[in-house]
Amino acid sequence: MIKKVTKDEIGSEDIDDIEVDYGEVLLYRTALYGFKTAILIATAYNYEVSSVQMIIDKIADDMFDWKKDIWDKYKDLLMLTTGGDVQIEDAAKNAMINLIDSYIEASDFIRQENDDQSNDLLSIDSASDSQLIDENKFKQYLLEVRRSLTEGVILSADTTQEIWSFTNDDELNIYLTIDRQANGIFESGTYHDNSYYSYDFGEVDEFSTDKNTVVIKIHNSWGNEIQLWNTNTYTPGMPIDNLNEMLDSYDISKNGRDIFNWTADFAKDPNGDIELPENSPLFKHIQTY
């Protein structure tokens, strides 16, 4: 389904025709579920006062007293109405789940569109890694909210911060500060180096590790996207002569929580690729706040 909204319908000759397709319909449906959720939550509470005009008049005359005129007089104000708890736990929760499902469906549809998106009402720029990454982070957060609603899992707002340090035989140290959600999903990051000839810094767009690979994608402060290191699987016997073991010297503490070191078997081979041989440590510091 594709609908063209013409210049005449928009009422401006300065705007090109706008394409509205099923992705926009799904997002419109998502917004409606959002309004429904908000209304169901709001109407589950009591807002009844006997004379709104009296309160307005007192405020205008600078005679309004919140405790005497509101809390002492209306004991049930902002309390759940009869059946309000069921309304929130049932209808509002289901509307929120429908909202998330509708958004995920819309995101998947928009991401798979392969026609020209320049005239779409809404689009995700497939050529922009930052847009794709940011939208995916938002989608992952919604999925965590959904899991909390359906499985009763506590939704944690804690963030884990990791500081990684890399080095090579030219004594170029790269420091990455990585923030993860409580579920381990990469959220954001920054980096800087200590090059003798320059000082480079910027943001981390992508960071993931597993037993065999490391993926790091950054862009510097001038907006240039850089593939910091490609990833390969370690082959036993591969030379790693240019690896300098290094432990960064950050002394971090926050809210009285101790910091501990975590040692991983990462290294850097002569071709500039990160590998994972045994007993070749790279260190990170980690803290939760």
**Does residue 137 carry a pLDDT above 70?**
yes
Question: According to the model, what pLDDT value does residue 103 have?
Answer: 94
DSSP string, 209-229: E-SS-EEEEEEETTS-EEEEE
Query: Residue 179's closest CA among 164, 161, 191, 205?
Result: 161
Query: Residue 205's closest CA among 130, 132, 135, 274?
Result: 130
User: Would you call 192 helix, strand, or coil by DSSP?
Assistant: strand
Higher-confidence residue: 77 or 210?
77
Question: According to the model, what pLDDT value does residue 21 have?
Answer: 78
Higher-confidence residue: 282 or 67?
67
Report d(CA 156, CA 29) in Å as an integer: 28
The confidence band for 163, taking pLDDT boundaries of 50, 70 and 90, is confident
Share above pLDDT 90 across residues of the chain, in percent, rounded to a whole number: 11
**Does residue 208 carry a pLDDT above 60?**
yes
Higher-confidence residue: 159 or 250?
159
- Dihedral (Cα; 214, 215, 219, 224), 10-degree rounding: 120
Q: How many CA atoms lie within 13 A of 249 on its CB side?
A: 1
Higher-confidence residue: 143 or 197?
143
Query: Residue 220's closest CA among 197, 196, 198, 203?
Result: 203
Place of tokens 């850097």: 268
Question: According to the model, what pLDDT value does residue 283 have?
Answer: 36
**Does residue 35 carry a pLDDT above 50?**
yes
**Does residue 104 carry a pLDDT above 70?**
yes
Residues whose CB is less than 8 angstroms from the CB of residue 164 and which lie 6 or more positions away in sequence, other chains included? 175, 176, 178, 282, 283, 284
Taking the complete model, does pTM exceed 0.75, yes or no? no
The confidence band for 215, taking pLDDT boundaries of 50, 70 and 90, is low
The confidence band for 33, taking pLDDT boundaries of 50, 70 and 90, is very high
Total Cβ atoms within 10 A of residue 203: 15
Tens digit of pLDDT for each residue in 233-256?
A: 333 333 333 222 222 222 222 222
Tokens of 155: 């939704």
91-95, 119-123, 248-252: which range is least confident on average?
Answer: 248-252
| Beta-bridge partners for 219 | 203, 225
Total Cβ atoms within 10 A of residue 17: 12
Asked whether 31 and 121 are in contact (CB, 8 A), the reply is no
C-alpha distances in Å from residue 226, one per residue of 57, 207, 256: 62, 13, 36
Question: According to the model, what pLDDT value does residue 22 have?
Answer: 83
**Does residue 269 carry a pLDDT above 80?**
no
pLDDT, average across residues 73-78: 80
**Does residue 172 carry a pLDDT above 90?**
no
pLDDT, average across residues 123-127: 64
**Does residue 31 carry a pLDDT above 90?**
yes
User: Would you call 142 helix, strand, or coil by DSSP?
Assistant: helix
Residues whose CB is less than 8 angstroms from the CB of residue 123 and which lie 6 or more positions away in sequence, other chains included? 110, 113, 117
Query: Residue 171's closest CA among 250, 262, 276, 268?
Result: 268
Diameter over CA atoms, the chain: 84
